Amino acid sequence: MTAPKELQEAKDKGLNRLEDTDIFKALLKTENKSKPQVGRPKIIDTSVLRKLYEAFIIGSTDEEACFWANIGKSSLYAFQIDYPEFLELKEEWKQNPTLKARQTVFSNLDSAENARWYLERKKKEEFAVRSELTGASGVSLLPTNLEDLKTNYGDLAKDLIEETSKQGVENDPSLQDKEQGGGVSNL
């Protein structure tokens, strides 16, 4: 099966190729100069940029990528200021896992199970499995507070509430102390 048109166009443009970017070429050019560099060396060179690329291409966050490249987040953000086009590249690289997952889903839609899964998520109104938790008139079947419970179910609800309260006290030693001192109230 062939790749979707958009993904193939992205590959043709080289959007996921680090070595083809202007940023990489500029960094490589400065590294290959024979004269000594004046001032503090740049933290992000081609090897660090490769590490960042490796992390971003699998969908890592900025923090994860910085950890992988062994640099601080402030270094990454300063680099983005110096090279604003890097920010756009980084976001493109981060989309790679999503595109790959979409391609996998698309290429496996021939299976009835996969097609059903896809439709349940993309066309929820028509294909999603639903469970309704309301009565015929759209009113909730569950009581919204204890007063509703007492009103609708009378003595049964009172007995249930009292029994639950007693069990909670019997099973929790910290509540037993409060009960003896009058700290726990029954409904």
- 9 and 87 co-located in one domain: yes
Of 28, 61, 94, the position where a domain reaches its end is 94
Question: What value does the mean pLDDT take over residues 165-185?
Answer: 54
Domain assignment present for 86: yes
Domain assignment present for 41: yes
Is 19 or 127 the better-scoring residue by pLDDT? 127
- 89 and 151 co-located in one domain: no
- Of 144, 142, 147, residue with least CA distance to 157: 147
Distances in whole angstroms, Cα of residue 140 to Cα of each of 131, 136, 145, 151: 13, 9, 12, 15
State the Cα–Cα distance between residues 169 and 186, nearest whole angstrom: 11
Residue with tokens 């009581």: 143
Domain assignment present for 99: no
- 82 and 11 co-located in one domain: yes
Of 94, 110, 127, the position where a domain reaches its end is 94
Amino acid at 92: E
For 71-112, write each residue's pLDDT tens digit: 999 999 999 998 888 888 899 899 989 989 989 989 998 989
Task: Domain count for the chain, please give it.
Answer: 2
Domain assignment present for 185: no
Is 45 or 171 the better-scoring residue by pLDDT? 45
For residue 83, give its domain range: 5-94
Identify the burial level of 141 via C-beta atoms within 10 angstroms of its C-beta, where 0-12 means exposed, 13-18 middle and 19 or more buried. Answer: exposed
- Of 96, 109, 111, 15, residue with least CA distance to 60: 96
Domain assignment present for 135: no
- 87 and 10 co-located in one domain: yes
Domain assignment present for 26: yes
Identify the burial level of 184 via C-beta atoms within 10 angstroms of its C-beta, where 0-12 means exposed, 13-18 middle and 19 or more buried. Answer: middle
State the Cα–Cα distance between residues 135 and 69, nearest whole angstrom: 57
- 84 and 154 co-located in one domain: no
- Of 60, 49, 48, 137, residue with least CA distance to 93: 60
Taking the CB of residue 90, how many other CB atoms lie within 10 A of it?
Answer: 19
For 27-57, write each residue's pLDDT tens digit: 777 766 656 666 666 777 888 888 999 999 9
Domain assignment present for 18: yes
Domain assignment present for 102: no
Name beta bridge partners: 134.
Answer: 140
Rg (the chain; Cα; Å): 31
